[in-house]
Structure 1
């Protein structure tokens, strides 16, 4: 069992909390925390399943997703281990929401286009949880940035069979991308 310490707490969402991995400072552990809206995180289940599908598909490019390292039992509940997204300085990357507030969406047009193309090229489905607070902006240098989805991976719809066919997957990605842009980026 992995022991997670409160001093290693990173962030918390509606159902899950992230902690710095006690044995590897380049990894994080996501756990469903006690007292959330649900005892079992359906999002965690879907996310883990989707990460396993991506591994099975042999995805090599994890540039816009944290790499997945498997499930783990912890003192705070069941969890799973992911790459901790850090800037070139070693600092944990800040949310895209932080940078949008600071600089506006126009400053990141290139990064947004590359990000969108990554999902389309790899037929990676994201859900409606893809919002600026669930995306990190990783600084590779002072002028080179990547957007990294840390929450909202996978499909929450009941009918996911079309996702296995690239044409339909890309159509779903495009529709969701348009909703993401209209909801979070149009006024920025």
Structure 2
């Protein structure tokens, strides 16, 4: 069992909390916390399942997703381990929402285009949890950035069979992308 301490706490969403891995400062542990209004965290189950599908599919390019390292039992509940997204200077990357408050979305147009193309090229489905606060902007240098989805991976639809066919998966990605842009990036 992995012991997570309060000093290792990074962030908390509506159902899950993230902790720095106590034995590896390049990894983080996501756990469903108690009293989150749900007995089981379907979000974590779907995300873990989707990460496993990507691994089975042989995904080599994790540029826009944190790499997945498996499930773990912790003193705070069941969790899973993913890469901790850091900037070139070693600092934990900040959310895309943070940078959108400082700068206009136009500054990140190139990064957004590469980000969308990554999902299309790899047929990676994201859900409606993809919003600026669930995307980190990783600084590779002062002028080079990557967007990294840390929450909202996988499909929450009941009918997911079309996602296995690239043509239909890309159509779903494009529709969700348009909703994402219209809801969060247009003023």
Q: Smaller-chain TM-score range? A: over 0.9
Within a 5 Å distance, the mapping from 1:55-66 to structure 2 comes to 55-66=55-66
In structure 2, what is the equivalent of residue 117 of structure 1? Answer: 117
Is 1:84 the counterpart of 2:84 in the alignment? yes
CA contact (8 A) 1:127 1:152 kept: yes
CA contact (8 A) 1:32 1:39 kept: no
Within a 5 Å distance, the mapping from 1:3-18 to structure 2 comes to 3-18=3-18
In structure 1, what is the equivalent of residue 169 of structure 2? Answer: 169
User: What's the offset of the Cα at 1:39?
Assistant: 2.0
Cα distance in 1 between the residues matched to 2:128 and 2:169? 15
CA contact (8 A) 1:96 1:132 kept: yes
In structure 1, what is the equivalent of residue 72 of structure 2? Answer: 72
Q: Tell me the secondary structure at the aligned position of residue 73 of structure 2.
A: strand
User: What's the offset of the Cα at 1:105?
Assistant: 0.7
Is 1:136 the counterpart of 2:141 in the alignment? no
Is 1:21 the counterpart of 2:30 in the alignment? no
Cα distance in 2 between the residues matched to 1:37 and 1:148? 27
TM-score (norm 2): 1.00
User: What's the offset of the Cα at 1:148?
Assistant: 0.0
In structure 2, what is the equivalent of residue 48 of structure 1? Answer: 48
Cα distance in 1 between the residues matched to 2:9 and 2:119? 29
Cα distance in 1 between the residues matched to 2:50 and 2:19? 21
Structure 2 runs not aligned, ≥5 long: none
TM-score (norm 1): 0.99
Structure 1 runs not aligned, ≥5 long: none
Q: Tell me the secondary structure at the aligned position of residue 88 of structure 2.
A: coil
User: What's the offset of the Cα at 1:72?
Assistant: 0.0
